[in-house]
């Protein structure tokens, strides 16, 4: 997978081409400026700089089959690594991720995984996209007004405009607010409650989104996603 550097950020070439206007926009320059200022002031920001665009580097633009949209990165030490809902090896899976695994257990009878690293999904074409790409340590949604929404809205819009038959898994009200950005005549939108412990029993459990996604992929003669993350060999 080829990557190129843009303003000290490594990003896969397909995404770099598609998002050229965003990287050169005033709002993106302002995001970089604020992040630099916060770091100089001693603020800890997650994920680490090289991992901010991890989702794009692990899932090239031309490989995207499924999009799982989260809100913002985990704000605890060691948790965020640039993929929505995912945590690195050795980090305890947070409650929402545990509920995702419980839904997988319901659908496929898979045992709860031994780790919470979803890179295996990403490498199969599942774009694990957070609407906000950074957060201050221990301050959830602290970069809500930074401008990341402009960037990630552009990501969703470009996928909608330039590709066909992408499956968007939109869990919770925040993710579902992105529906107007998606052309439902050529893409597949699956909605459910958020997997958070506060809402999972209100429509996330039993949504069958993983099975339904693979049924759609199979109908398109595309390789289904292997959702068993313990088999990331």
Q: Catalytic site residue 230?
A: no
At 24, list the tokens: 């050169």
Contacts of residue 202, defined as CB under 8 A and 6 or more positions apart, other chains included, come to 193
Is residue 174 packed enough to be buried (19+ CB in 10 Å), middle (13-18) or exposed (0-12)? middle
Marked catalytic residue, from 72, 89, 226, 230: 72
Q: Can you spell out the DSSP letters for the chain?
A: --EEEETTEEEEHHHHHHTHHHHTSHHHHHHHHHHHHHHHTT--EES-GGGTTHHHHHS-GGG--EEEEESS---STTT-SSSTT---TTSPPPHHHHHHHHHHHHHH-PPPPS----HHHHHTTEEEEESS--EETTBTTTTTTSSHHHHHHHHHHHHHHH-SSPEEEEESHHHHTTGGGS-TTTSEEEEE--SSTTTGGGTTTT--HHHHHHHHHHHTT-PPP---GGG--
Active site residues: 72
């Amino acid at each position: 997978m080829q990557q190129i550097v843009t303003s000290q950020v490594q990003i896969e070439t397909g995404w770099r081409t598609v998002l050229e206007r965003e990287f050169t926009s005033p709002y993106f320059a302002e995001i970089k400026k604020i992040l630099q200022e916060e770091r100089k002031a001693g603020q800890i920001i997650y994920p680490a700089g090289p991992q901010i665009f991890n989702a794009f580097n692990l899932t090239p633009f031309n490989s995207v089959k499924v999009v799982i949209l989260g809100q913002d990165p985990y704000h605890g030490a060691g948790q965020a690594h640039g993929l929505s809902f995912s945590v690195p090896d050795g980090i305890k899976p947070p409650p929402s991720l545990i509920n995702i695994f419980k839904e997988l257990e319901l659908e496929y009878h898979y045992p709860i995984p031994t780790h919470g690293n979803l890179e295996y999904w990403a490498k199969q074409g599942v774009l694990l996209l957070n609407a906000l790409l950074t957060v201050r340590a221990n301050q959830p949604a602290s970069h809500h007004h930074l401008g990341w929404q402009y960037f990630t809205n552009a990501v969703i819009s470009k996928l909608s405009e330039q590709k066909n038959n992408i499956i968007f898994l939109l869990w919770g009200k925040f993710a579902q607010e992105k529906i107007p950005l998606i052309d439902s005549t050529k893409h597949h939108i699956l909605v459910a409650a958020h997997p958070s412990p506060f809402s999972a029993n209100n429509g996330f459990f039993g949504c069958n989104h993983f099975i339904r996604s693979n049924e759609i992929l199979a109908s398109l003669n595309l390789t289904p996603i292997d959702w068993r993350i313990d088999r990331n060999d």
